[in-house]
Amino acid sequence: NAGVTQTPKFQVLKTGQSMTLQCAQDMNHNSMYWYRQDPGMGLRLIYYSASEGTTDKGEVPNGYNVSRLNKREFSLRLESAAPSQTSVYFCASSEGFQPQHFGDGTRLSIL
């Protein structure tokens, strides 16, 4: 089973460019999440979707937008990338209070 799949795995952007990170899960989970991970900062929640059709802000939502396209897919968009958004981005999914399953991450560099 694929689990949680993120694309792309790596991306380099210039400041001001836009970009959409894609995430898809095949576990029929209702909830999906986007995190960023910076050195020494652990994982910080950007946005989450408790169920299809709903999205809510997490701890660090500024500069990002999300779309829950259907039950399987949850995308993260950077409208105008900034160097401060250089990070590793993880998508996760879960069902109820079961543990979250993570994708392998997208390493994003903004010059």
Binding site for other proteins (CB under 8 A): 4, 31, 33, 35, 40-45, 48, 50, 58-59, 90, 94, 96-97, 99-105
Q: How far is the CB of 77 from other proteins (least distance, A)?
A: 21
Cβ neighbours for 32, distance < 8 A, ≥ 6 positions apart: 23, 25, 48, 49, 68, 74, 91, 92, 93
Taking every pair of C-alpha atoms in the chain, what is the biggest distance, in angstroms?
39
Specify the residue, 42 or 53, whose C-beta has the smaller distance to other proteins.
42
Specify the residue, 35 or 74, whose C-beta has the smaller distance to other proteins.
35
CB 56 within 8 A of CB 47: yes
Q: How far is the CB of 56 from other proteins (least distance, A)?
A: 8
Closest CA relative to residue 1, chosen from 32, 30, 25:
25
Q: How far is the CB of 31 from other proteins (least distance, A)?
A: 5
